[in-house]
Structure 1
Amino acid sequence: MKILVSLFLGIVLNLGTTITPNISTSSIVKAEVPPYAKWGQLAMQKTKEKYPNAAITDYLHLGKVPGTTSSTEKFKLWLKEKDKEFGVLVDIEIDKNTERLIGIKFREVTR
């Protein structure tokens, strides 16, 4: 009987160690900040300034368009103001060498 109990306990303890996940802090993956994040924040900030009575309800990075001396980060923000909902396309032009802002363009869209 002692042998059976010891065998049973050994099996249960081994199962417990194999079933229980071993999670360490080294296995946690940190999310990377995308390179366009600072420009996305600027797009939201400037859109809030241009449309102070509207709430930004959605945000999408449309991509980066490279040029010879500058590049343009493109965003689409969806806004709601009272009963009106509309999109705003935001183009942020950046100097390729200095990473400084050249200009921002806004264009309202219905979709």
Structure 2
Amino acid sequence: MELTLAIAIGILFGSGVWLILRPRTFQVIVGLCLMSYGVNLFIFSMGRLRMGAAPILTKGAEIDPSRYSDPVPQALVLTAIVISFATTALFLVVLLASRGFTGTDHVDGKEREQ
């Protein structure tokens, strides 16, 4: 499970970096989204991956912390998803306004001369 998650994080982050280096602003925004998903998966994995474990502590039982997942990274990831959704919406509005003013969606504002 950890290897699969590590490969997924690497693919998301690598694809995000590749898209950030592209000349179009929409590709840059999608790259930022992919990188944020990779970082969210990384933070989520830091809370320990447990399959088939009880999510709630039982009353009166002996508590062994190694049997439970840490809920703090899960809460952080949930908050980060909401924040990344809002910033992506803001970036898209800025992209549309910039394209309306300049007539192009290039990062530097100019089309490449051929």
Higher share of residues assigned helix: 2
TM-score normalised by structure 1 residue count = 0.18
Between Structure 1 and Structure 2, whose CA radius of gyration is higher? 1
Q: Which has the higher contact order (CA 8 A, sep 6+)?
A: 2
Higher share of residues assigned strand: 1
TM-score normalised by structure 2 residue count = 0.18
